Chain A
Amino acid sequence: MDRWRLLRWTLAAAAAGLLFLAFPRGAAAAPQPDSCTACHQNLEGRLSAPVARMRDDIHAKRGLSCASCHGGAPARPGMDAMDRKAGFVGRPSLQQIPQLCARCHSRPEVIRRYNPRLPTDQLARYVTSVHGQKLRAGDTQVATCTSCHGVHPVRAVGDAQSPVFATNVPATCARCHADPERMKRYGIATTQFAQYKDSVHGQALLEHGNRQAPACNDCHDNHGAVPPGVASVANVCAQCHSATRDLFVRSPHKEAFDVLGQGECTTCHGTHDIAFPTDAMIGDSKPALCVQCHPAGSAGLATAGGIRARLEGVKNAISGADALLARAARAGMDVSETKLDLDEARTQLIIARAGTHAASLAAVEPPARAGVAAAGRARSAGDAAIAELAFRRRGLGLALLVIGFVAVTLWLKLRELEPRRRT
């Protein structure tokens, strides 16, 4: 009997020990009751869906609860939690959403606790945007915070599944802006997304995943989204293309475009459909764009023709040297060091191409000349490699002749010795 008692005590002590070990010490504090989750997870359809999806929500991950946005008293049981007196707002209206998000997102002292690098000017910018202004005017078809960022869950911007992750932004904007029915009342085109997808920027971002390439928000702004307008479009492009903008503002085109009220970069390059620029865009005959404004025989067209000729000169010099070096390399010659000159020529070609934005031969001529010179050095090295190759082959021929002579002499000597061996 004593043995059984002892066994029971031992088992009880072991169970107590296991319970103690099983629960971390911090768990001693009881979790806050949350009747929102407790009730909604047992409901069906749209009433329960947010509970499961909140697992991916950045706010939930940072410890915020349903009540942080929807208000109410989640500590109270059942329907009593949705007490309007306790601040319950239920489903906020579209007009309420910007202000609701801004309760935290426009307060640096709140945001810095979670992400000090996150801006807090979203609402301030939003109210200046076309979306924000139309919302204030009572238009409930426009985008608010949740239209782009989603809701239940709101994912972090860096989350690849977020609708505002860089590569998802164009499709997110296109949900409304490519919808003719939705855009009809605003009288704006719906082709932007289709054009953007085929543009140099769209291909870089959407096909090659290059997140340095601009999406809609990089030119139009995100929270303060507006069309850039003729006056500011060059500044928008200059966020990335600063060198070409600097050349452009010194060019005669700057004043002319300002007078004509034409967009600075967009006149030649387009907007959403910006194609990869080619040298064919410049010159004194079609398909060069210059002929659209400059009449035949004008000084402007002569300059354009001169610029094109310089660019073609560098390209021809590079391709000639490249072909020669490739031939030498195929023959086994080491021309790796010579490729530095070719790289230099290609760099100069890039500088010369950028120089076209100054619309002046003076900006294109020096790099074009440097490029031709560098390609010439590469070509000389290629010629030397081919000459060395010929020298090697001649040397080989001579060596084989000597070797053949020695071999024949040895063979004759062996033949001479052969009869002696037989005798």
Chain B
Amino acid sequence: MSVPSWLEERVRYRGVEAFLRHKEVPRHRFDFTYYTGGITFFLFLVQVLTGLLLLMYYRPTADAAFESVRFIMSKVRFGWLVRDIHIWSANLMILAVSVHLAATFFGKAYRRPREVTWLTGVVLLILTLTFGFTGYLLPWNTLAYFATKVGTEIAGDIPLVGRAILVLLRGGEEVTEATLSRFFGIHVAILPALTTLLLGAHLLLVQVHGMSRPIDVPSTEGEPFYPQFILRDVLVWVILLGGVALLATLMPWDLGEKADPLLSAPAGLKPEWYFLFMYQALRMLPARLLGLEGEKLGVLAFMLAGAALLFVPFLDVWSKREQRHRLFTVAGVAALLFVVAMTILGLRGTL
């Protein structure tokens, strides 16, 4: 009995192979956006692999976390490479998932029957950002400590439940070893488990429904998913791997100074670039707005915007009829401009 026959008898893979061979990916002028999902997936795999390697040396205590990261960087063979690839690919993953979301939004790929795919995607975006937020604290350096302090304070501004969320996140009133301990747990256990489940569902749904063709975009022909599209995906991944290796080697991430809770926050403290738009917008709000605390109102507005984003497939009733309504395009462009403008202002440190 040949090996394929032996395998077929046991795992029935030929059905999947036939499905993939028959599956076609639409070709059109925007088909490059299909790679954004694959790029995100690839970077997630890099994260898992490098994260597992870092886990072998990382110690999640206030006394040892910083030293263990320094040990990884200076004493572990290729430890510096693993750490830098982990950080660079984390940042690129957040960028990729954001571009993927924008491409999906403007292509209206969330329309029937892909509403659940969109829901899982938005939740995956939130999980990715949470990965970034929790991972940032783990080296226990000054910037991470104070950024987490500010970040959890913002979470504390959520109306009604903010205080409870702040205490839950920090494991107490202040950012302490308890915070580090639970951020570590969330980063290496809870988030990977949730992400794997949702990512599985997301990929399964993408396979079931196939790639969505944007509304109003004519598609002349299709391309076989296997092997052409997969090979193209892998080609992009290989180039991306080279890019990450280049960044990790030539632009390594500085570890900074060990966190000292007794010191005052460093001047010009900013969150990571992917939270900067939110931070900048909240800073620019007046102390009192519409009779409420400005920052709390801002946090509420961001939560409502997040909810609107999540339920876009159900709000955009025109997309079900294969119609592109200007309201959603304008809202999307406005949101994009807002995020970009606030990020630039935040980077320049302008109030």
A residues adjacent to B (C-beta < 8 A): 332-334, 336-337, 392-393, 395-396, 399-400, 403-404, 406-407, 410-411, 413-414, 417-418, 421
What's the nearest-Cβ distance from chain B to residue A295, in Å? 53
Q: A410-B231, A421-B223 are in contact. Are A337 and B249 (CB under 8 A)?
A: no
Could you tell me if B228 and A414 are in contact, using CB atoms closer than 8 angstroms?
A: yes
**Min C-beta distance of B309 to chain A, whole Å:** 35
The listed residue (B73, B81, B231, B250) touching A334 by CB distance below 8 A is B73
A-B contact pairs, 28 of them (CB 8 A): A332-B250, A332-B254, A333-B252, A334-B70, A334-B255, A336-B70, A336-B255, A393-B249, A395-B249, A396-B245, A396-B246, A396-B249, A396-B250, A399-B242, A399-B245, A403-B238, A403-B239, A403-B245, A407-B235, A411-B235, A413-B231, A414-B228, A417-B227, A417-B228, A417-B231, A418-B228, A421-B223, A421-B224
Within 8 A of A (CB), among B203-254: 223-224, 227-228, 231-232, 234-235, 238-239, 241-242, 245-246, 249-252, 254
- Does the CB pair A400–B246 fall under 8 Å? yes
Q: What residues of chain A lie closer than 8 Å to B227, measured between beta carbons? A: 417
Q: Is there contact, CB below 8 Å, between B242 and A407?
A: yes
Contact of A407 among B70, B228, B238, B252 (CB under 8 A): B238
Within 8 Å CB of B250, what residues of A? Answer: 332, 396
Alpha-carbon distance A406/B232, docked complex (angstroms): 12
Complex interface: chain A residues within 8 A of B239 (CB): 403, 407
Q: Is the interface of B mostly helix, strand, loop or mixed?
A: helix
Max chain B Cβ within 10 angstroms of own Cβ: one of A334, A392, A418: A334
Bound Cα distance A407, B73 (Å): 30
Contact of A410 with B70 in the complex, beta carbons under 8 Å: no
| Residue numbers in A under 8 Å from B252 (CB-CB) | 332-333
B241 touches A403 (CB 8 A): yes
List 7 additional A-B contacts (Cβ < 8 Å) besides A396-B249, A399-B242, A403-B239: A332-B252, A337-B74, A396-B250, A400-B245, A406-B238, A407-B239, A417-B228
How far, in angstroms, from A413 to B227 measured CA to CA in the complex? 10
B80 within 8 A of A: yes
Closest-CB distance, A199 to chain B (whole angstroms): 33
A-B interface, 8 closest residue pairs, ranked by CB to CB distance from nearest: A332-B252, A403-B242, A396-B249, A410-B235, A334-B73, A407-B238, A334-B74, A406-B238
Residue of B whose beta carbon sits closest to that of A417:
B228
Minimal beta-carbon separation of A301 from chain B (angstroms): 47
Question: What is the chain A residue whose CB lies nearest that of B251?
Answer: A332
- Contacting residues, chain A, for B231 (C-beta < 8 A): 410, 413-414, 417
Instruction: Identify the closest chain B residue to A401 (Cβ).
Output: B242
Nearest CB on A from B6, distance (A) = 28
Return the chain B residue nearest A332 by Cβ. B252
- Write the residues of chain B forming the contact surface with A, with a CB cutoff of 8 angstroms: 70, 73-74, 80-81, 223-224, 227-228, 231-232, 234-235, 238-239, 241-242, 245-246, 249-252, 254-255
Q: Is the CB of A404 within 8 A of B224?
A: no
B81 contacts which chain A residues (CB < 8 A)? 392
- Which residues of chain B come closer than 8 Å to A395, judged between CB atoms? 249
- When distances are taken between beta carbons in the complex, the residues of chain B under 8 Å from A413 are 231
Chain B residue contacts of A418, Cβ below 8 A? 228
Report how far A333 CA is from B234 CA in the complex, Å: 32
Residues of chain A with a CB closer than 8 A to B234's CB: 410
* A392-B249 CB under 8 A given contacts A334-B73, A336-B70: yes
Which residue on B lies nearest to A404, using beta carbons?
B242
Nearest chain B CB to A115's CB is how many angstroms away?
32
Chain B nearest CB: distance from A189 CB in Å? 46
CA distance A393 to B251 in the complex (A): 12
Given A392-B249, A396-B246, A410-B231, check contact A334 B80 (CB 8 Å).
Answer: yes
Q: Give Cα A419 to B245, complex, Å.
A: 34
User: Would you give the shortest CB distance from A322 to chain B, in whole angstroms?
Assistant: 19
> Closest chain B residue to A422 by CB distance?
B221
Residues of B within 8 Å of A393, CB to CB, are 249
A residues less than 8 Å from B223 (CB atoms): 421
Q: How far is the CA of A417 from the CA of B230 in the complex (A)?
A: 12
Nearest opposing residue in chain B for A397, CB measure:
B249
- For the complex formed, measure the closest distance between the CB of A110 and the CB atoms of chain B, giving whole angstroms: 42
**Closest Cβ of chain B: how far from A79's Cβ, in Å?**
59
Min C-beta distance of A225 to chain B, whole Å: 42
Does B242 lie within 8 Å of A400, measured CB to CB?
Answer: yes
* Chain A minimum-CB-distance residue to B255: A334
**Nearest chain B residue, comparing its CB with the CB of A410:** B235
Q: Measured between alpha carbons, how far is A334 from B75 in the docked complex, in Å?
A: 10
Complex Cα gap A239–B74 (Å)? 45
- CB-nearest residue of chain A to B235: A410
Residues of the B chain whose Cβ atoms lie less than 8 Å from the Cβ of A406: 238
Complex Cα distance, B228 from A117, in Å, reads 89
A392–B73 Cα distance when bound, in Å, is 13
Most buried by B among A332, A400, A406: A332
B70 and A414 within 8 A (CB)? no
A3 to chain B, nearest CB (A): 46
- In the assembled complex, the Cα of A263 lies from the Cα of B255 at a distance in Å of 52
Residue of A nearest to B78 (CB): A395
Residue in A closest to B74 when the chains form the complex, CB atoms: A334
Min C-beta distance of B72 to chain A, whole Å: 10
> Which chain A positions have C-beta within 8 A of B232?
414
- A392–B74 alpha-carbon span in the complex (Å): 13
Complex CA–CA separation, A332 to B88 (angstroms): 14
- The residue of chain A having its C-beta at the shortest distance from the C-beta of B227 within the complex is A417
Contact B228 A421 (CB under 8 A): yes
Note all chain B residues with C-beta closer than 8 A to A332.
250-252, 254
Q: Say whether, besides A332-B254, A334-B80, A337-B74, A410 and B224 are in contact (CB < 8 Å).
A: no
User: Shortest beta-carbon distance, B346 to chain A, in Å?
Assistant: 25
Instruction: Tell me, rounded to whole Å, the shortest Cβ–Cβ distance linking A403 to chain B.
Output: 4
Known: A334-B70, A421-B223. A414 touches B235 (CB 8 A): yes
CA distance A413 to B235 in the complex (A): 10
- Find the B residue at minimum CB distance from A329: B254
Tell me, in angstroms, the Cα distance from A417 to B232 when the chains sit together. Answer: 11
Instruction: Output the nearest chain A residue to B27 by Cβ-Cβ distance.
Output: A421
A121 to chain B, nearest CB (A): 40
Report which residue of B81, B224, B238, B255 has the largest number of chain A beta carbons within 10 angstroms of its beta carbon.
B238
User: A396-B246, A396-B249 in contact; A410/B228 too (CB < 8 A)?
Assistant: no
Set B74, B80, B238, B242: member contacting A410, Cβ < 8 A: B238
Closest-CB distance, A131 to chain B (whole angstroms): 46
Contacts of A417 in B (CB 8 A): 227-228, 231
